[in-house]
Amino acid sequence: MEEHLEALAVAESWENGKPIREALAADIPLAIDHFRYFAGALRAQEGSLSEIDEDTIAYHFHEPLGVVAQIIPWNFPLLMAAWKLAPALAAGNAVVLKPAEQTPASIHIWLDLVADLIPPGVVNVVNGFGVEAGKPLASSPRVAKIAFTGETTTGRLIMQYASENLRPVTLELGGKSPNIFFDDVSADDDDFLDKALEGFTMFASNQARSAPVPPAPVIQRGHYADFLARRRRPHRGDRPLATALDTATMIAPRPQTTSWRRSSPTSTSAARKAPASSPAATAPTRRRTQGGYYVEPTIFEGTNRMRVFQEEIFGRSPPSPPSPTSTRPSPSPTTPSTAWAPASGPATAPPPTAPAAPSRRAASGPTATTSTRPTPPSAATSSRASGGRGTR
């Protein structure tokens, strides 16, 4: 994979629409790291033996499940495949992988590169829509386990199909991750504030098509107006809209018309009652240009009761409800009260001790205090409708 990093990155950008710089710097290197991690974990794997009493000995054997079905979405085609394949193969399983119908090609390019390393029948790829490919996999009695990453409604169906044969399921579902910015973040105009503002704009990373990125920033009332005003200045030069295969591009077009319409702030039903402002000043929030379907980064303001703060849009449109109190609040009135909870990130001036209590009380997955760093490859959890605990 390292020898063909550029070819794999181009394949992913070509079908997914993400900027090539992200695929080169993040997606493919992270996929490589994930295979390396579980190769190392495999070397350290061992069983155990314990003596219960003088007449009883317990043996613990780690054995493969058998055939596992894995269904992945379109936002990280190769990285999602690595997240699913690496641990399953390290544990000795055979895999039937179904990529998203929107991004079916890059996994086959990867498979061509590694085909001589894998025994026949160990990794199998099935293309198709959910009803014709996903449902038969999830309901098959020959499948020992199902792993699914995708939309919450589909996840419920997968669980229902698997229950017919009492098969275990792991789910990684939709998200609306809150980033909470306390007043003291803006106490000084320093590097820390710059980093907090950078964290605010992380909603646009990966075309805003990642559940753990912060699409729901919550800003404490004391510095709400000033903090938000700093991010409303035009930043077209910082994140130019252009073709995905240009290494200078930071915001590329959507992969298809349906994705463009669904994520467009002006056409999303969840956003119709929330006021919107484009960071590019008077630029329209949606435009068809340069041979692609582009969505301008857009900020919505309102309250937690609005649908835009409750529903996952998967577009560059972060809501910014202000905190209802002037003092440091607990997550209950502050954090967006959504059904999802894949991750959260309270930000406060260092030392980051103040958000510890709110972070512990927030029912979410990984909580990164004054940070949005990704979780290590061994840990991936979420909460509530984002898929329960221990998702991958």
- The candidate with the shortest Cα–Cα distance to 98, out of 146, 66, 166, 26, is 146
- pLDDT for residue 238: 47
Distance of alpha carbon 13 from its chain centroid, rounded? 17
Q: What is the DSSP string of 147-201?
A: EEES-HHHHHHHHHHHHTTT--EEEE-----EEEE-GGGGSSSSHHHHHHHHHHG
The terminus-to-terminus CA distance of the chain in angstroms comes to: 22
- pLDDT for residue 51: 92
On the question of a cis peptide bond just before residue 351, with omega within 30 degrees of 0, the verdict is yes
**Whole-number average pLDDT of the chain:** 75
177 contacts: CB under 8 Å, gap ≥ 6: 211, 212, 213, 214, 215, 216, 340, 341, 342, 343, 344, 345, 364
- pLDDT for residue 350: 58
What tokens appear for 97 in the block?
């992988």
Q: pLDDT tens digits for 209-225?
A: 555 555 677 888 888 88
Place of tokens 């991690």: 37
- Spatial distance between the Cα atoms of 283 and 239, rounded to a whole number of angstroms: 14
Place of tokens 């973040």: 185
- Catalytic site residue 172? yes
Count CA atoms within 13 Å of residue 344 on its CB side.
27
Strand segments (E) across 12-102: 48-53, 56-60, 67-71, 94-98
- 22, 172, 296, 312: which one is catalytic? 172
- pLDDT for residue 247: 84
- How much is the pTM? 0.75
129 versus 323: the higher-pLDDT residue is: 129
Distance of alpha carbon 142 from its chain centroid, rounded? 30
- The confidence band for 151, taking pLDDT boundaries of 50, 70 and 90, is confident
Residue 153 neighbours by CB distance under 10 Å: 10
As a whole number, mean pLDDT of residues 274-297 equals 51
Place of tokens 């990130």: 345
Determine which helix (DSSP H) or strand (DSSP E) holds 89, and give its type and residue range.
helix 77-90
Q: What is the DSSP string of 315-360?
A: SS--B-PBPS-SSPPPHHHHS---SEES-BEEE-SSSTTTTHHHHH
- pLDDT for residue 4: 97
Crossing angle of helices 5-16 and 106-114, rounded to 10°: 160
Task: Give the lowest-confidence range in 49-58, 115-124, 129-138, 282-291.
Answer: 282-291
Task: Give the lowest-confidence range in 121-130, 240-249, 320-329.
Answer: 320-329
- Spatial distance between the Cα atoms of 17 and 295, rounded to a whole number of angstroms: 12
What tokens appear for 332 in the block?
């209950």
Place of tokens 């155990």: 48
Res 231 pLDDT > 60: yes
- Spatial distance between the Cα atoms of 43 and 65, rounded to a whole number of angstroms: 19
What are the two backbone dihedrals, phi and then psi, of residue 272, each rounded to the nearest 5 degrees?
-65, -25
Burial degree of 151 (CB within 10 A; 0-12, 13-18, 19+): middle
What tokens appear for 207 in the block?
């075309």
As a whole number, mean pLDDT of residues 183-190 equals 88
What tokens appear for 352 in the block?
């980051």
Q: Which domains does the chain have, with CATH numbers?
A: 5-172 (3.40.605.10), 178-373 (3.40.309.10)
- The candidate with the shortest Cα–Cα distance to 30, out of 71, 83, 74, is 83
